[in-house]
Amino acid sequence: MQLFTKRIDVREEDIFSELHHFLLRKNNRYLTNDEVVEITGVSFELLYKWVKSGKLKKSIFPNLGAPCERCGQITQAKICVSCSSTIVNTLKQEEKDRAWYNQIQPNNVRASTYHYK
């Protein structure tokens, strides 16, 4: 089955409504990106755009995804799990570094004064 991809006069909204209609059919809800592109002929570009904008809801189409904004891996969220954990870890590390820095500041002064007593 091919959607309107061979036609150039078709509007994006029309492709979307056709695709949406197709996906809402029994069992089509669970198709993956690759399957949807293969079956319908819709481009990955449009598919990603609709997933990202929330037109194709992840709650309804659990197997559709869009590239992670950081590494490009297909994911259900804006940023994939590994990138979001990297970001969280970086933030945690920064917090630790700051805490450590604040901690050693006064201690250093005290330590050096102690030495020269």
Distances (CA, A) of 108 to 20, 54, 117: 64, 53, 14
Q: Of 19 and 68, which CB lies nearer to Zn ion in the complex structure?
A: 68
Q: Of 23 and 65, which CB lies nearer to Zn ion in the complex structure?
A: 65
Q: Of 23 and 80, which CB lies nearer to Zn ion in the complex structure?
A: 80
DSSP assignments along 15-47, one per residue? HHHHHHHHHTSTTGGG--HHHHHHHH---HHHH
The residues in 43-82 that bind Zn ion, with binding defined as CB under 5 A, are 68, 70-71, 73, 80
CB 90 within 8 A of CB 58: no
Smallest gap from residue 90 Cβ to Zn ion (A) = 13
Smallest gap from residue 78 Cβ to Zn ion (A) = 9
Residue at token pair 């194709």: 56
**Contacts with Zn ion, residue ranges (CB under 5 A):** 68, 70-71, 73, 80, 83
